[in-house]
């Protein structure tokens, strides 16, 4: 006997309208209203709160391939955007099943209430396998997601809105995701049954300046956990102002949007920093713009990489690691000049996942080594960066693993 899915008998209260005119009906969750964005899918099994608050997802609607979402609820500790009040992260979300009731000792809020409070519009009760297959075959589509408790929609107007949206190419979203002013970070990584720690700035051994294009909190925590005082500066900060802070190292953060668009003002700054031979480390958008600064090119990907189970090979060690990824643009490895070495590559599709300058302490990776969520295989990269700082100071290297 075939079991009828429970949502098939309910009146649709949300729709996803794709740019090609496809209309997918479901049950609305989270905030009401509508938003236009790009639809992607994420294959992670855990960490929905961290994913939805990752500023790299600004301008995107996240489809979770895992069917049951919500079982650990939400809390105020696990958000990843630096300024939660600004609600920088995914603008929409799609689930297969109804939100699961929370059952976790750290939960303080139901996921549906949390989504509504952050202005994230959601849709549940659809065939997420079919939508994922569609994205895989045809690429990430532009779309409108709309939620109305009364189920009243102007479908033709929504189709036009989805069709006319220009997409992520050419969009500088870092200006929306970045901090409004400089700040200091001292919180250290979470420890079981203890929570997050705190670094005494007087005990810090190194000073790292983070150029914030949409940085995640756990990146900053890992720096603090390695005895680094971190100064976070807005994306538009000049190289003169960055170097005036006398950093031991400069970090180029993750973030949303088209790297070429953000690079119009960020690339000249990065080039100036490289000339000083200050140890420099980039992640995600920071990696892409470092590639541009070194003479390479970036390109929009067919479907992007989003999930916590992506295999990447580190050519510098010969090892394969499973990593967390979230990006829709990539560095074209063939465009990199001779003085730049490709260090990491995706074993899914061969795209570039890392680079370094052969003659300067400068490197970057496409994936998210801070995990949160995701495996911690790549935590060694933070020690690799700190070792560049230590070498410049004449100190012995730390073990990477």
Q: Please confirm, yes or no, whether 370 is among the known catalytic residues.
A: yes
* Distance of alpha carbon 226 from alpha carbon 209, whole angstroms: 14
* Distance of alpha carbon 70 from alpha carbon 92, whole angstroms: 15
What residue has token string 């052969």? 358
- Residue 118: CB atoms within 10 Å: 21
Q: Please confirm, yes or no, whether 184 is among the known catalytic residues.
A: no
- β-partners of residue 14 are 26, 147
- β-partners of residue 16 are 24, 145
* Distance of alpha carbon 237 from alpha carbon 265, whole angstroms: 9
* Distance of alpha carbon 325 from alpha carbon 212, whole angstroms: 18
Query: Do 239 and 273 meet the contact criterion of CB atoms below 8 Å apart?
Result: yes
- β-partners of residue 320 are 313
Identify the active-site residue in 284, 310, 344, 353: 284
CA 287 to chain centre: 12
Q: Please confirm, yes or no, whether 327 is among the known catalytic residues.
A: no
* Distance of alpha carbon 159 from alpha carbon 372, whole angstroms: 35
Nearest to 330 by CA among 318, 348, 314, 315: 348
By CB atoms closer than 10 A (0-12, 13-18, 19+), residue 392 is: middle
| 3-state DSSP percent of the chain in helix, strand and coil, to 5 | 25, 30, 40
Give me the DSSP letters along 287-337. Answer: HHHHHHHTT-EEEEEEEEEEEEEEEEEETTTTEEEEEEEEEEEEEEGGG--
Rounded (10°) CA dihedral 113, 117, 120, 123: 20
- The residues that are catalytic are 284, 368, 370
């Amino acid at each position: 006997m075939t079991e009828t899915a429970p949502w098939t008998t309910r009146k649709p209260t949300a729709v996803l309208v794709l740019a090609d005119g496809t209309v997918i009906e479901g049950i609305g969750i989270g905030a009401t209203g509508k938003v236009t964005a790009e639809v992607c899918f994420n294959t992670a099994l855990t960490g929905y709160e961290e994913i939805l608050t990752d500023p790299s997802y600004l301008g995107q609607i996240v489809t979770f391939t895992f069917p049951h979402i919500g079982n650990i609820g939400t809390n105020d500790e696990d958000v990843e955007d630096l300024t939660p009040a600004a609600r920088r992260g995914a603008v929409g979300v799609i689930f297969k099943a109804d939100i699961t009731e929370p059952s976790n000792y750290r939960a303080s809020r139901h996921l549906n209430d949390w989504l509504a409070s952050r202005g994230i519009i959601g849709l549940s009760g659809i065939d997420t396998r079919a939508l994922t297959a569609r994205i895989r075959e045809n690429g990430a589509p532009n779309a409108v997601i709309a939620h109305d408790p009364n189920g009243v929609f102007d479908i033709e107007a929504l189709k036009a809105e989805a069709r006319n949206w220009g997409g992520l190419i050419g969009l500088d979203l870092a200006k929306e995701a970045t901090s409004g002013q400089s700040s200091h970070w001292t919180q250290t990584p979470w420890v079981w049954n203890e929570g997050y720690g705190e670094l005494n700035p007087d005990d810090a051994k190194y000073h790292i300046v983070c150029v914030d294009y949409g940085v995640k909190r756990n990146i900053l925590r890992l720096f603090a956990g390695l005895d680094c005082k971190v100064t976070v500066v807005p994306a538009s900060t000049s190289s003169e102002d960055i170097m005036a802070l006398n950093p031991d190292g400069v970090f180029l953060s993750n973030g949303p949007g088209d790297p070429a668009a953000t690079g119009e003002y960020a690339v000249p700054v990065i080039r100036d920093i490289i000339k000083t031979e200050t140890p420099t480390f980039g992640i995600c958008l920071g990696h892409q713009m470092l590639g541009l600064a070194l003479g390479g090119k970036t390109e929009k990907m067919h479907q992007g990489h989003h999930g916590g189970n992506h295999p990447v090979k580190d050519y510098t060690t010969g090892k394969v690691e499973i990593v967390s990824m979230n990006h829709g643009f990539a560095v074209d490895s063939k465009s990199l000049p001779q003085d730049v070495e490709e260090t990491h590559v995706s074993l899914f599709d061969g795209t570039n996942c890392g680079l370094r300058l052969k003659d300067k302490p400068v490197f970057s990776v496409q994936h998210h080594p801070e995990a949160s969520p995701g495996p911690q295989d790549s935590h060694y990269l933070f020690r690799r960066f700190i070792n560049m700082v230590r070498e410049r100071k004449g100190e012995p290297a730390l073990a990477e693993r």
